[in-house]
Chain A
Amino acid sequence: MAVPLAFFGLFFAYPVAAIVGRGLRTDEGWRFGRIGEVLGRPDIADVLWFTTWQALASTALTLLVALPGAYVLARFSFPGRQLLRALVTVPFVLPTVVVGTAFLALVGRGGLSDEVWGVRLDTTVWAILLAHVFFNYAVVVRTVGGLWAQLDPRQEEAARVLGAGRFGAWWRVTLPALGPAVAAAALMVFLFTFTSFGVVQILGGPSYATLEVEVYRQTAQLLDLSTAAVLTMVQFVAVGLILAVHAWTVRRRETALRLVDPARTAHPPRGWAQRALLGGVLLTVVLLIVAPLAVLVERSFDAPGGYGLGFYRALQDAGAGGGTFLVPPLEAIWNSLQYALAATAIALFVGGLAAAALTRRAGRFVRGFDALLMLPLGVSAVTVGFGFLITLDEPPLDLRTSWILVPLAQALVGVPFVVRTMLPVLRAVDGRLREAAAVLGASPWRAWREVDLPMVRRALLIAAGFAFAVSLGEFGATVFIARPDRPTLPVAVARLLGRAGELNYGQAMALSTILMLVCAVALLALERLRPDKTSGEF
């Protein structure tokens, strides 16, 4: 408990409080009058309204599209299932710069949909919503699917025997059991879309702005710290409210579930209805997730003088970036992996301790802490980054130019994932099993190892996968601190896209493709690590 608290206080609460304080305090004292002034501005009201409704719409759409996917990936076994599961997670870690480019190529002017159907969606809200679904599909699939795969199907069968219809059994048995996970996923998606930055900036054009975009503009570009502080607080309150509602709905629903080995619940699809469902999900994935990724890959090979590896060859050459990187862009891959591994280790350590502490205890304080750990997701990277700048500048904590700042900032976003993923499973472990182990003479440590660990290992791996993925694609905080001799992949892509010329553009596409591959491979490796008693999955 102490470790997560200290981590959270030092690397989140203190920097953010400092930067907000700087915006609201002058030599004459606090200026709380600013709050009313800022909120009274019509442009700010527009921003608030847009932020809220697009997040609601995105969340609803994501749940609608992704829940069938979660079911199919959890309950059906079919060739290539692991590959598919890794694939849907890839978007989640792509830098938004790249996604924006891909989506414009799909739904923009002269894009695929324009050529085929004459439909253009760029600079409409639809493009933003679609991109949000694209990004967050994996959140639902992994959060809900992870639990769904372990629910004992016999409970539903028992309900059917007792006379419930197919839907009734699902409605009364499965859905309540899934409730916390669905709520957690919905909350995640809402948070991500509420605080969406890159997607809105690229696809929305200058006429749409979310709170996050506005905070960034006010802080980084206009240095209007007091307006930024007010907006940060508004976002804070909004996120706090969401979390409170979430905590209230989830609190009484995490009853002990009967969890079984996921391998036992999966079966090949039977009958036309299930096959149609599988087909529908596959079609959705192809249209929504594969198509934008495919456009990127296609462009990365579209070298001058016909298709080929020209852009990839250029990546090995340090001079290719015109000296931008001081190292060949390929080295960015290695940098990214190192940072992501470090961030994952930190996030697992801090998040794991927090989740364990939260399982053991109940009470108002602990619930508050649970919600507190989620807050970093609702605060913009620029606020945290600027907060770091003005707080971590004294030895022994002058970390402003230290490499560790990058994984720390990334872990801040990773921790909530770890907690969210671990907690439902940890809480669902039946306490009597532990007691039985204790009665049989096991030490607490051994009881945990023999009873809890096997059940939570999968959740642990999913959490690790998430934390790793988030770190790999994290861009906001990294831009502040990544040193030019050690650029991460997203930073390198953004820099290449920021220059004219065909080779730079092509290299950006090639690097994005590599980033996708690295993510897919990392995620696949995690999938392979799953405890899994049947080897007939692949």
Chain B
Amino acid sequence: MSTTKKIAGVALATALGVTALSACGGGEGKDKPGASDAPTKSKTVTLVSHDSFSVSDGVLKEFEQQSGYTVKILKSGDAGTALNQEILTKGSPRGDVFFGVDNTLLSRALENGIFTPYEPKGLDAIASEYVLDKGHKVTPIDSGDICVNYDKAYFADKKIAPPQTLDDLLKPEYKNLLVTENAATSSPGLGFLLASIGKYGEDGWKDYWSKLKDNGVEVVDGWEQAYNERFSGSAGGKKAKGDRPLVVSYASSPPVEVIYADPQPAEAPTGVATGTCFRQIEFAGLLKGAKNEAGGKALIDFLVSKKFQEDMPLNMFVNPVVKGAALPEAFTKHGVVIEKPETVAPEDIAKNREQWVKAWSSLVVK
């Protein structure tokens, strides 16, 4: 390699870097915050959410065309992290609407006063059991159930019936089979802890967990690891030779195993233990200090519209909250409806969550 060539190479690399810089920069000029975002009728509405938010392209485009707004989506970490960032930036939010505060975190959001009350068009169509905040600072958007999933093949092989309830999990035939997530760091982990608190109450849950521990429950940090590494029924777990046929996941996980398999099996490889569930409800709210309040309101109306509600299940694997929204076939065929999930009142969760989690940690993890 001659020296000129080398210098040319270096120059080229530098030039590339500069071009990339200006290329990125060029595209961003038009939505520079500040001057152009005066309180005139802004054309951009920003939705702040957690990483799991997703919507079909077509559905979002349709809303943009009808309303005349351009939607910007900003994702910032998992549900807890995203909400905490909104609390930190209270009064000078990064967006107009926040989606993704669930019933385990709702009180924290309300106490910190990050939302402006708004009653969306179509509020009447939402089933009333989901409307937890009577002041309408937040609007329910979806619900999902955190439940124990089981590996059908394992129990068929062993000729044991899979467990169905929280009590079942303590039986000797299920010893060393369950993997769950750390309640301190993972939302399904917390949900499962709350399910046990909902069922056995303030006095009984610790006793339940110490029995569960004696029965060999394994705790890992996050859902990914539990489900894709340790659980024997999921595609990832099969490859990783996971050997726990019971995992704490979602009621919608079996349909997902079907949808994302190629070829799709006639029957889901996993099932749901229907007596082990905790119901999660997710809300959206108009952020206090939003630059585009009118746009934010229109966006919340859109989130509870039938169009979005029916689009949601296959994107986020959650259930609609609007009466009459149809579920996709994969859900009706491979999913189960949880009739009686365990619940804990949001104010109890707010008051006790930290001490519950601490007590749980020292009981189970240490």
Q: B235 contacts A501, CB within 8 Å? A: yes
- Check A403 for interface membership: any CB of B closer than 8 A: yes
Any chain A CB within 8 A of the CB of B17? yes
Q: Which of A108, A206, A302, A304 contacts B182 (CB 8 A)?
A: A206
Whether B185 contacts A505 by the Cβ 8 Å rule is no
Provide the residues of chain A in CB contact with B34, threshold 8 Å.
Answer: 395-396, 398
Bound state CA distance, A206 and B23, in angstroms?
43
Contact, CB under 8 Å: B220 / A206? yes
Does chain B have a CB within 8 A of A431? no
Most buried by B among A202, A386, A395, A502: A502
Is B228 touching A497 in the complex (CB atoms < 8 A)?
yes
Residue-wise, chain B 274-303 has the 8 Å CB interface mask toward A (1 for contact) of 000000000000000000000000000000
Q: Is the CB of A498 within 8 A of B224?
A: yes
CB under 8 Å from chain A, chain B span 6-47: 6, 9-10, 13-14, 16-18, 20-21, 23-25, 28, 32-35, 46
Is A246 on the interface with B (CB-CB < 8 A)? no
Interface check A34, CB cutoff 8 A = no
B56 within 8 A of A: yes
A450 on the B face (CB < 8 A): no
Residues of A within 8 A of B221 (CB): 201-202, 205-206
**Which residue of the partner chain, among B25, B52, B84, contacts A221 with CB atoms under 8 Å?**
B84
Contact between chains at B20 and A386 (CB < 8 Å): no
Task: Given A97-B224, A324-B54, A483-B73, answer yes or no on A401-B33 (Cβ-Cβ < 8 Å).
Answer: yes
With an 8 A cutoff between CB atoms, is A485 at the interface?
Answer: yes
Alpha-carbon separation in the docked complex, A535 to B6 (Å): 13
What chain B residues lie within 8 Å of A500 (beta carbons)? 227-228, 234-235, 249, 253, 256-257, 260, 317
Beta-carbon contacts of B112-156 to A below 8 Å, as 1s and 0s? 000000000000000000000000000000000000000000000
Question: In chain A between 386 and 411, which residues have their CB closer than 8 angstroms to a CB of chain B?
Answer: 386, 389-390, 393, 395-396, 398, 400-404
What residues on B are CB-neighbors of A31 within 8 Å? Answer: none
Q: Is the CB of B315 within 8 A of A323?
A: yes
In the complex the two chains form, is A484's CB within 8 Å of B75's CB?
yes
* Interface size of A as a range: 35 or more
Q: Is B229 an interface residue (CB 8 A)?
A: yes
Query: For chain A residues 521-536, which have a beta carbon within 8 Å of chain B?
Result: 528-529, 531-532, 535
A22 to B32, CA, bound (A): 28
A195 located at the interface, meaning its Cβ lies under 8 Å from any Cβ of chain B in the complex? no
Q: How far is the CA of A535 from the CA of B1 in the complex (A)?
A: 7
Would you call A344 and B17 a contact (CB within 8 A)? Answer: yes
Contact B259 A326 (CB under 8 A): no
Is A59 among interface residues, defined by CB-CB distance under 8 A?
no
Q: Is the interface of A mostly helix, strand, loop or mixed?
A: helix
Indicate if A504 sits at the interface (CB-CB under 8 A). Answer: yes
A220, B184: Cβ atoms closer than 8 Å: no
Which of chain B's residues has its CB closest to A302's CB? B239
Which of B9, B28, B53, B256 is most buried by chain A, counting CB atoms within 10 A of its CB? B256
A502 close to B92 (CB less than 8 A): no
Q: Whole-angstrom distance between the alpha carbons of A93 and B1 in the complex? A: 29
Which of B6, B24, B224, B236 lies in contact with A502, CB distance below 8 A?
A: B236
Taken residue by residue from 410 to 439, chain A's Cβ proximity to chain B (1 for < 8 Å, 0 otherwise) reads as: 000000000000000000000000000000
Residues of B within 8 A of A484 (CB): 53, 73-75
Within the assembled complex, what's the spacing in Å between the Cα atoms of A321 and B315? 8
Which residues from chain A contact B262 at a C-beta distance below 8 Å?
Answer: 303-305, 310, 502-503
Interface residue ranges of B211-227 to A (CB < 8 Å) = 219-225, 227
Is B77 in the interface zone, CB < 8 Å from A? yes
Closest-CB distance, B53 to chain A (whole angstroms): 8
Interchain CB contact under 8 A, A532 and B260: no
B228 A217 Cβ-Cβ under 8 A? no
Residue A111 lies at the interface, judged by CB distance under 8 Å to chain B: yes
**In the complex, are the beta carbons of A338 and B51 less than 8 A apart?**
no
Q: A220-B84, A501-B259 are in contact. Are A341 and B21 (CB under 8 A)?
A: yes
- Contact in complex: B260, A498 (CB < 8 Å): no
With A386-B85, A480-B76, A500-B227 already in contact, the answer to whether A318 and B220 are too (CB < 8 A) is no
**Least Cβ–Cβ distance between B337 and chain A, in angstroms:** 19
Closest to B354 in A: A222
- Give B contacts to A, CB under 8 Å: 1, 6, 9-10, 13-14, 16-18, 20-21, 23-25, 28, 32-35, 46, 51-57, 72-77, 80-81, 84-85, 87-89, 92, 94-95, 108, 182, 184-185, 219-225, 227-229, 234-236, 239-243, 249, 253, 256-257, 259-263, 314-315, 317, 354, 361, 365-366
- List 14 extra interface pairs beyond A207-B365, A326-B73, CB under 8 A: A101-B229, A104-B240, A206-B220, A221-B184, A342-B17, A395-B33, A395-B34, A395-B35, A480-B77, A484-B73, A499-B256, A500-B228, A500-B249, A501-B261
27 contacts between A and B (CB under 8 A): A101-B228, A101-B229, A109-B241, A202-B222, A207-B365, A220-B77, A222-B354, A305-B262, A322-B54, A324-B54, A339-B24, A341-B16, A342-B21, A342-B24, A345-B21, A386-B88, A401-B95, A402-B33, A480-B77, A499-B317, A500-B249, A501-B259, A502-B262, A505-B235, A505-B239, A532-B1, A535-B1
Shortest 7 CB-CB contacts between residues of A and residues of B:
A501-B260, A502-B235, A110-B241, A395-B34, A505-B236, A503-B260, A220-B81
